């Protein structure tokens, strides 16, 4: 290596300045004041008198009356239960009013007044605000330096609907929602085992987003779990609005177009992966759950493969690999064949293609580029535009790409066929994350093909293979079980053997409890003709 | 990061500076479908190329309607060697000549007779584009140019029509055979074998062959037709095998797939047609006292295709008699072919190779005089075993019934 390659830049030392700070955390008063009015002032100041912060002053107890306040955020709480139970039971119970004066009012309220599942104490402002922002209700009592936190989380949320990004013909219809609690419960309903462990985190200094790490203790590899924990705990960012934020902090390599974390909005996919020893990362506010570690072949396994019979599933897997290769190299192959290797095309076909290209004013590469870019624009427009104008795009698209461009002689019909095939192929890839990376790689292959022909395509494939083999997902080789080759695990890669033959979990991902199917599970008809005799006899009797 | 950028720049230089190496757009190449070689009076080569005009072949979907111009254009140049001829074409053609789809090479009869074909093939064999699997034909009694410029109906590209005709006639009739450049070169190089190349000619008016008018009528004025097999000696054309003699040579070469053998029955000539459906021919050598002997063992199997006279085909003895007649007929064809080859001292059947395999030491002695002395005097024993497998879907012809009713 020449000297100038050597990096002479000194890395600037990371200091505390570079770390994110939640705004004005230091402004908090030291602790909760004895006087209620002071405390309420603090709350009002801190929340900037936001209209959705509701402060309800209540006087309880007989003489002397005790000043209390109920604080919650409108919309985040279940307002029905606050009205019905919380306020009602504090104010209206006569027995209670008596006790309140004699004993510690907080304890009385906590023990006797509130019919809620979760009540706890908070002692400082940080806890108080964090609970308030989560949708819990705070009860402050005059003269006390601690507060009650009542779990009244609720409010309006999207109900469970069928996932739109991963559709199956056969399989459960429920999909994740934006609520982390709903999401984890959807998985728990499927895996009813105490070994399904969930670890909670709060990420984002400003957003304080709930993040949960879910895995099955005893099946997941403890080293990988530890690695996930380490990477998540390292994240220092002000906000987490979607699981994509976390994905980019914890993936092994940034400079690759291939996804090294799987994401899904299907609880059955998550459950299946947990049972293979993988780890799910739930983020509040998004229906997309991350799964780690992810390997290359996983992106070609639709969840329905495991519900369909094995021969069908295997055929579909091969089809998907074919689809993926088409979506990567079809335009490149067209360019290479028509500008470098005309001898490879059968004469009749060559003449047909040549006749079409006779009037086209562009080289094949430019032609392909125009069409591919046009298609990408159409697709992007199709996704982003308002639903109401959807049909306009399809009309314009069909006319521009299909009809007018060909008739005007700008592009050849053969190119249109290639682009259309590529487009359909990229839609047929089961994982959108993989399809979208294929879209990028396709252009690289097109350039390679325009430069060196098939030689360039082969070079590209070699480089792609090297790149893929070098990737890791949480330390697990991306191409496993092809590279490193593990024969037994190829039972569930390109092939999907019947369930009774999938005896072991993937060994690089799972650890400990490896057996998932018992011995001698292959179904067989009963020996002899016993069944047949039985039905015959029965038939005779009926007669 | 810095290093990464430098590496990226270097890689982009690799791609940008190399450009589109040896790129050739479809609109910049002239696809040549056939190549004809003749000789003019000065002894120079006359090359003729058939360039496909793609727009006119597919019928021009963009323009609508039928094609306007001819599907091919033909250019002719002269030169002292084929490379010179090929390069000189650029003076008249706007595009780069592309030989990778040239699947037909036509050699004029005059050139084949006077100069031989030996010197022709080096340029084509050496060129990386030219396919060694191109079929070779001889323009019988005319110039290769005439064949190359003929416009054909149905198969719009004439070279395609020629090749498909060869394929179909070899398979169904057996009086012509396909020979690609590789076969011809192998036979030319081989000691004990000479090449056989099918001849083509224009039936009809040669002047009309190159006009679009030729295909605008139901009966084309000029038709490209396979005719005869050229017999070579030392790379020079010496004679033509025609008709049944030509078929006899294909029997020996074991290239008959299906054909039709007619036999005489009682006093009626060619009254029964025997359709060969499969056959196997073996050429077996025997050496007696340093003297090679060849046995040709044909076993043919076929159906009765047609009877023009009342014959009782249910009678096994009749069938045996038919088989005998068929054997006689096939044997006659084979013997005629051998006779003609021996007369021309041209071992096109590869008997020399067979002897070489049987007794290499003897072959070394015979080799130098094989074509001039031993082959013309070679004793060839022909054994034919014909078998009637089926009599079609009728046993008794209606002719038989008519006769029976008459009685």
Q: Does some domain include residue A475?
A: no
Residues A260 and A395 grouped into a single domain:
no
Q: Which residues pair with B223 in a beta bridge?
A: B203
Residues A336 and A450 grouped into a single domain:
yes
Q: What is the pLDDT of residue A530?
A: 62
Helix axes A310-339, A432-452, angle to 10 degrees: 30
Q: State how far the Cα of A150 lies from the Cα of A159, in Å rounded to an integer.
A: 24
Q: Are strands B104-108 and B135-139 parallel, antiparallel or unpaired?
A: parallel
Question: B19-30: b or e for each residue (b if 16 or more CB lie within 10 Å)?
Answer: ebeebbbbbebb
Q: What is the pLDDT of residue B205?
A: 86
Q: Which residues of B touch A366 (CB under 8 A)?
A: none
At B295, the pLDDT band (50, 70, 90 cuts) reads: very high
Q: State how far the Cα of A227 lies from the Cα of A247, in Å rounded to an integer.
A: 14
Instruction: Give the Å distances, CA to CA, from A363 to A334, A414, B193.
Output: 12, 14, 49
Residue B158: CB atoms within 10 A of its CB come to 24
**Rounded (10°) CA dihedral A118, A123, A129, A135:** 10
Which residue from A5, A350, A365 is facing B3, i.e. has the nearest CB?
Answer: A5
Q: Taking CA atoms, what residue in B is nearest to A408?
A: B62
A97, A120, A150 - which closes a domain: A150
Q: What is the pLDDT of residue A25?
A: 52
Residues A427 and A511 grouped into a single domain:
no
Q: Which residues contact B107 (CB under 8 A, 6 or more apart)?
A: B36, B37, B117, B120, B136, B137, B138, B139, B144, B197
Instruction: Give the mean model confidence (pLDDT) for residues B152-162.
Output: 89
Which tops the pLDDT comparison, A464 or A401?
Answer: A464
- Tell me how close the Cα of A285 comes to any Cα of chain B, in angstroms: 35
Q: Does some domain include residue A258?
A: yes
Instruction: Give the mean model confidence (pLDDT) for residues B97-111.
Output: 92
A119, A150, A181 - which closes a domain: A150
Residues A230 and A290 grouped into a single domain:
yes
Q: What is the pLDDT of residue A155?
A: 81
Q: pLDDT per residue over A57-69, tens digit each?
A: 888 777 677 888 8
Q: State how far the Cα of B91 lies from the Cα of B333, in Å rounded to an integer.
A: 51
Residues A383 and A288 grouped into a single domain:
no
Q: Does some domain include residue A2?
A: no
Q: Which residues of A touch B55 (CB under 8 A)?
A: 355, 358
A-to-B residue pairs, Cβ atoms closer than 8 angstroms = 92
Q: State how far the Cα of A514 lies from the Cα of A504, in Å rounded to an integer.
A: 5
> How does DSSP assign A119-156, residue by residue?
EEEE-SHHHHHHHHHTT-EEEEETT-S-EEEE--B---
Instruction: Give the mean model confidence (pLDDT) for residues B186-198.
Output: 88
Q: Per-residue pLDDT for A295 more than 60?
A: yes
Residue A151: CB atoms within 10 A of its CB come to 18
Residues A47 and A145 grouped into a single domain:
yes
Give which of B61, B64, B213, B239 is closest to B140, Cα–Cα. B239
Structural domain count of chain A: 3
B264 touches B230 (CB < 8 A): no
Q: pLDDT per residue over A206-225, tens digit each?
A: 888 999 999 999 999 999 99
Q: Does some domain include residue A199?
A: yes
Predicted ipTM of the assembly: 0.85
Q: Taking CA atoms, what residue in B is nearest to A356?
A: B55
- Tell me how close the Cα of A229 comes to any Cα of chain B, in angstroms: 29
> How does DSSP assign A465-529, residue by residue?
HHHHHH-EETTEETTTTTTTT-GGGGGBTTSB--GGG--B--TTTB-S--B-S-SS----PPSTT
Q: State how far the Cα of B207 lies from the Cα of B151, in Å rounded to an integer.
A: 11
Residue listed under structure tokens 């609690």: A181
Phi, psi (rounded to 5 degrees) for A67: -80, 125
Q: Are strands A137-141 and A119-122 parallel, antiparallel or unpaired?
A: unpaired
Q: How many helices (H) and strands (E) does chain B have?
A: 14, 13
Q: pLDDT per residue over B211-264, tens digit each?
A: 888 888 888 888 899 999 999 988 889 999 988 899 999 999 998 899 999 998
Q: Which residues of A touch B23 (CB under 8 A)?
A: 339-340, 363, 450, 453
At A21, the pLDDT band (50, 70, 90 cuts) reads: low
Q: Does some domain include residue A486?
A: no
Question: A354 vs B26: CB contact, 8 Å cut-off?
Answer: yes
Q: Does some domain include residue A73?
A: yes
Q: Per-residue pLDDT for A381 more than 90?
A: no
- Tell me how close the Cα of B74 comes to any Cα of chain A, in angstroms: 17
Share of chain B above pLDDT 90, in %: 42
Across chain B, mean pLDDT equals 88
Which residue from B19, B33, B58 is facing A355, i.e. has the nearest CB?
Answer: B58
Domain ranges in chain B are 25-241, 255-407
Q: pLDDT per residue over A153-198, tens digit each?
A: 888 888 999 998 888 889 999 999 999 999 999 999 999 999 999 9
Question: A351 vs B26: CB contact, 8 Å cut-off?
Answer: no
A86, A121, A150 - which closes a domain: A150
- Tell me how close the Cα of B226 comes to any Cα of chain A, in angstroms: 23
Instruction: Give the mean model confidence (pLDDT) for residues A477-503.
Output: 90
Which tops the pLDDT comparison, A346 or B212?
Answer: A346
Residue B303: CB atoms within 10 A of its CB come to 16
Q: State how far the Cα of B21 lies from the Cα of B15, in Å rounded to an integer.
A: 10
Which residue from A354, A360, A365 is facing B31, i.e. has the nearest CB?
Answer: A354
Q: State how far the Cα of B358 lies from the Cα of B286, in Å rounded to an integer.
A: 8
Residues A242 and A351 grouped into a single domain:
no
Give which of A291, A290, A73, A283 is closest to A178, Cα–Cα. A283
Residues A133 and A59 grouped into a single domain:
yes
Residues A461 and A339 grouped into a single domain:
yes
Q: Does some domain include residue A488?
A: no
Residues A342 and A460 grouped into a single domain:
yes
Residues A239 and A134 grouped into a single domain:
no
Q: Does some domain include residue A299?
A: no
B121 touches B91 (CB < 8 A): no
Phi, psi (rounded to 5 degrees) for B44: -85, 160
Across chain A, mean pLDDT equals 85
Q: What is the pLDDT of residue A12?
A: 45
Which residues 5-44 in chain A show a CB within 8 A of chain B?
Answer: 5-7, 9
Instruction: Give the mean model confidence (pLDDT) for residues A25-54.
Output: 82
Q: Please, where are the H alpha helices in B198-304?
A: 243-252
Q: Which residues of B touch A357 (CB under 8 A)?
A: 25-27
The range of the structural domain enclosing residue A287 comes to 159-294+501-543
Three-class SS of A201-263: EEECCCCCEEEEEEEECCCECHHHHHHHHHHHHHCCCCCCCCHHHHHHHHCCCCCCCCCCCEE
Which residue from A357, A360, A450 is facing B20, i.e. has the nearest CB?
Answer: A450
Residues A455 and A321 grouped into a single domain:
yes
Helix axes A347-357, A413-428, angle to 10 degrees: 100
Q: Which residues of B touch A407 (CB under 8 A)?
A: 62
Q: Which residues of A touch B24 (CB under 8 A)?
A: 339-340, 342
DSSP-based three-state secondary structure for B99: coil
- In words, the CATH class of domain B255-407 is alpha beta
Q: pLDDT per residue over B343-385, tens digit each?
A: 998 888 989 889 888 888 988 888 888 888 888 888 899 999 9
Instruction: Classify A239 in phi/psi space as left (phi over 0), alpha (psi -120 to 50) or beta.
Output: beta
Q: pLDDT per residue over A103-118, tens digit each?
A: 777 777 777 777 777 8
What is the enclosing helix (H) or strand (E) of B274?
A: strand B268-288
Q: The whole model's pTM is what?
A: 0.84
Query: Would you list which residues of chain B are within 8 Å, Cβ to Cβ, of chain A?
Result: 1-3, 6, 15, 18-27, 29, 31, 33, 52, 54-55, 57-58, 60-62, 98, 100-101, 103, 129, 131, 157, 160
At B280, the pLDDT band (50, 70, 90 cuts) reads: very high
Q: State how far the Cα of A75 lies from the Cα of B154, in Å rounded to an integer.
A: 79
Which residues 321-380 in chain A show a CB within 8 A of chain B?
Answer: 338-340, 342-343, 347-348, 350-360, 363-365
Question: A342 vs B98: CB contact, 8 Å cut-off?
Answer: yes
Residue A162: CB atoms within 10 A of its CB come to 13
Instruction: Give the Å distances, CA to CA, from A143 to A46, A58, A215.
Output: 21, 14, 45
């Amino acid at each position: 290596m020449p000297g100038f390659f050597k990096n002479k830049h000194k890395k600037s030392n990371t200091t505390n300045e570079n770390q994110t700070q939640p705004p004005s955390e230091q402004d908090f008063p030291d602790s909760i004041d004895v006087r209620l009015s002071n405390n309420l002032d603090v709350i009002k100041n801190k929340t900037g008198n936001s209209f959705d912060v509701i402060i309800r002053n209540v006087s309880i107890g007989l003489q002397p009356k005790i000043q209390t306040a109920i604080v919650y955020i409108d919309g985040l709480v279940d307002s029905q239960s606050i009205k019905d139970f919380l306020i009602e039971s504090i104010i209206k119970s006569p027995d209670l009013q008596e006790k309140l004066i004699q004993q510690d009012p907080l304890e009385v309220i906590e023990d006797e007044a509130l019919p809620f599942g979760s009540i706890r104490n908070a002692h400082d402002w940080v806890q108080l605000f964090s609970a308030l922002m989560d949708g819990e209700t705070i009860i402050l009592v005059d003269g006390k330096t601690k507060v009650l936190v009542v779990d009244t989380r609720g409010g309006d949320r999207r109900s469970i609907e069928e996932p739109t990004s991963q559709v199956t013909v056969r399989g459960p219809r429920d999909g994740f929602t934006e609520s982390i609690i709903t999401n984890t419960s959807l998985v728990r309903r499927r895996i009813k085992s105490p070994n399904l462990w969930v670890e909670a985190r709060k990420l984002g200094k400003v957003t304080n987003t709930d993040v949960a790490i879910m895995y099955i203790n005893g099946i997941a590899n403890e080293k990988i779990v530890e690695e996930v924990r380490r990477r998540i705990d390292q994240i220092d960012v002000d906000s987490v609005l979607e699981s994509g934020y976390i994905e980019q902090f914890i993936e092994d390599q940034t400079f690759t177009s291939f996804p090294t974390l799987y994401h899904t909005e299907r609880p059955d996919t998550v459950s299946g992966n947990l049972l293979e020893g993988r780890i799910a990362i739930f983020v509040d506010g998004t229906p997309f759950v991350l799964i780690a570690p992810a390997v290359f072949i996983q992106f070609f396994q639709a969840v329905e493969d495991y519900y369909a019979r094995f021969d069908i599933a295997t055929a579909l897997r091969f089809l998907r690999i074919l689809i993926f290769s088409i979506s990567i190299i079809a335009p490149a192959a067209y360019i290479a064949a028509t500008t470098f290797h005309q001898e490879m095309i059968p004469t009749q076909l060559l003449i047909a293609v040549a006749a079409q290209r006779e009037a086209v004013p562009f080289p094949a590469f430019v032609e392909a580029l125009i069409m591919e870019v046009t298609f990408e624009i159409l697709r992007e427009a199709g996704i982003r535009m308002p639903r109401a104008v959807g049909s306009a795009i399809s009309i314009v698209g069909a006319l521009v790409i299909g009809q007018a461009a060909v008739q005007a002689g700008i592009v050849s019909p053969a190119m249109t066929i290639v682009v259309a095939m590529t487009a359909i192929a990229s839609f047929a890839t089961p994982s959108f994350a993989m399809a979208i990376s294929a879209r990028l790689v396709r252009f690289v292959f097109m350039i390679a093909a325009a430069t060196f022909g098939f030689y360039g395509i082969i070079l590209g494939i070699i480089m792609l293979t090297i790149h893929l083999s070098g990737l890791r997902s949480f330390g697990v080789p991306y191409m496993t079980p092809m590279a490193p080759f593990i024969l037994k695990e190829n039972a569930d890669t390109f092939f999907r053997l019947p369930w009774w033959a999938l005896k072991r979990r993937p060994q690089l991902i799972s650890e400990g409890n490896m057996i998932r199917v018992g011995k001698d599970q292959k179904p067989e008809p009963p020996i002899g003709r016993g069944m047949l005799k039985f039905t015959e006899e029965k038939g005779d009797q009926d007669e | 990061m810095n290093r990464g950028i430098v590496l990226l720049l270097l890689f982009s230089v690799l791609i940008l500076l190399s450009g589109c190496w040896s790129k050739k757009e479809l609109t910049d190449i002239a696809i040549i479908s056939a190549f004809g070689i003749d000789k003019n009076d000065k002894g120079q080569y006359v090359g003729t190329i058939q360039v496909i005009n793609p727009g006119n072949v597919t019928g021009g979907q963009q323009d609508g309607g039928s094609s306007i111009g001819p599907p091919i254009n033909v250019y002719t140049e002269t030169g002292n060697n084929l490379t010179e001829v090929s390069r000189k074409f650029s003076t008249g053609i706007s595009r780069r000549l592309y030989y990778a789809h040239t699947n037909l090479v036509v050699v004029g009869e005059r050139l084949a007779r006077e100069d031989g074909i030996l010197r022709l093939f080096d340029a084509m064999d050496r060129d990386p584009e030219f396919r060694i699997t191109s079929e070779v034909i001889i323009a019988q009694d005319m110039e290769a140019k005439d064949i190359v410029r003929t416009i054909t109906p149905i198969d719009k590209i004439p070279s395609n029509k020629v090749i498909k005709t060869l394929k179909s006639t070899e398979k169904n009739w057996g009086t012509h055979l396909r020979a690609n450049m590789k076969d011809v070169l192998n036979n030319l190089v081989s000691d004990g074998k000479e090449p056989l190349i099918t001849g083509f000619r224009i039936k009809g008016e040669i002047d009309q062959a190159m006009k679009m008018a030729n295909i605008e009528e139901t009966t084309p004025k000029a038709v490209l037709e396979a005719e005869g097999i050229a017999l070579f000696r030392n790379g020079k054309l010496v004679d033509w095998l025609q008709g049944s003699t030509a078929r006899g040579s294909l029997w020996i070469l074991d290239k008959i797939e299906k054909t039709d053998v007619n036999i005489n029955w009682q006093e009626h000539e060619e009254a029964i047609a025997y359709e060969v459906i499969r056959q196997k021919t073996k050429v077996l050598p025997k050496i007696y006292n340093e003297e090679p002997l060849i046995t040709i063992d044909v076993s043919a199997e076929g159906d009765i295709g047609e009877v023009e006279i009342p014959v009782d085909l249910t009678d096994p003895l009749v069938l045996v008699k038919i088989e005998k007649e068929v054997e006689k007929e096939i044997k006659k064809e084979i013997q005629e072919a051998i006779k003609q080859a021996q007369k021309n001292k041209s071992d096109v059947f590869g008997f020399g190779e067979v002897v070489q395999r049987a007794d290499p030491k003897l072959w070394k002695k015979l080799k130098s005089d094989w074509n001039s002395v031993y082959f013309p005097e070679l004793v060839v024993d022909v054994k034919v075993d014909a078998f009637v497998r089926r009599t079609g879907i009728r046993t008794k012809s209606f002719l038989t019934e008519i006769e029976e009713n008459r009685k």
